[in-house]
Amino acid sequence: MAQRKGRPGMTSRGDTAGLEATRAFLDGLKEELMQEISAGAAVGTIITRSEPAPKSDPLPQGLIWWTGSRGGELNCTFFVGGQAEAWKAFGCGGESSDPAEDGAARFGRCLEKTFERRLGPSTLEGIFGWGQPPESFSATLVLSLLSEGSAPWELHCCFSPELQDALRRDEAPHRAQSAMDPGTPKPPPIGISPVALDLLMDIEVPVRVSFGRTRVRMGELLSMSVGGMIELDQELGDYVDVLVNNCVVARGEVVAVDGNYGVRIIDATPGGRRLLGGS
């Protein structure tokens, strides 16, 4: 099984931009998947997205891998790995007698739509199917499917370096277009009726701000004393992440407000834009 290559965390602006692009891409894919699952009458089912894991982490063993490549661009590949039961869970509400195949087919349809939305239409068909684990990749995030009365099922999503580069190049025009069209109608939340949404408005949710993260060996941790320093994976001046339910909804800069710390929102993820009223 291939392991992640490179050093832990983000160490450059280029890495940061690439990870932001992969977050945005996976948020779009998550919404496409959720739309299909909601249409399949899977009541009480939601999908969440993790933050990128450190590059030095090994991939879990024993995963069944599926790959999808953008039409005509074999190196522009998206890898998804999960246990058999996870694939079955993501195939819930499918039409065949094999839920795992339904899960793979669902990823193919949703990935094609997300490719087209983020990178534009392709003149050639994409290549999708069961495959091998990635030998090299630039980022890994996890999609977790949560259903009432069952444990969460996880699929590990890896981006080839070529795909991350393509998404990074595409991210700037997307942001520029969003700034030019502030009056673009906001899409309604997928799978939630207006009445149900009104009932959610008074619910309090924990909001967390992440300045960064890192991993250290237990020996290093035990040897630390007062005055010791822990180096995080973000550079000075990088934006901080605003998280709700462990999902990033926005990014911003730290400010002082009446003697307290605050965060000025600079950008929002696709899901976060709906929560923040399109800001």
Return the CATH superfamily for domain 13-180. Answer: CheC-like (3.40.1550.10)
Share of the chain residues as helix, strand and coil, in percent rounded to the nearest 5: 35, 25, 45
In angstroms, the CA 2 to CA 133 distance is: 7
The residues spanned by each domain of the chain are 13-180, 201-215+234-279
In angstroms, the CA 247 to CA 236 distance is: 23
- Dump pLDDT digits (tens) for 71-93: 767 688 999 999 999 999 898 87
201-215+234-279: CATH number: 2.30.330.10
Q: Cβ–Cβ contacts within 10 Å for residue 23, how many?
A: 24
Residue 97 has, within 13 A of its CA and on its CB side, a CA count of 0
- Token digits of residue 24: 């945005």
22: closest CA among 152, 119, 144?
Answer: 119
pLDDT tens by residue, the chain, 279 residues = 333 333 333 334 446 777 888 888 999 999 898 888 876 545 567 888 888 876 667 888 899 999 999 876 768 899 999 999 999 989 887 777 888 999 999 999 999 999 988 888 887 888 899 999 988 887 789 999 887 767 789 999 999 888 888 888 876 555 445 445 555 555 544 445 555 556 667 777 788 888 777 888 888 888 888 888 888 777 776 778 887 776 777 888 888 888 788 888 877 665 555 555 554
> Kind and range of the H or E element at 90?
helix 84-90
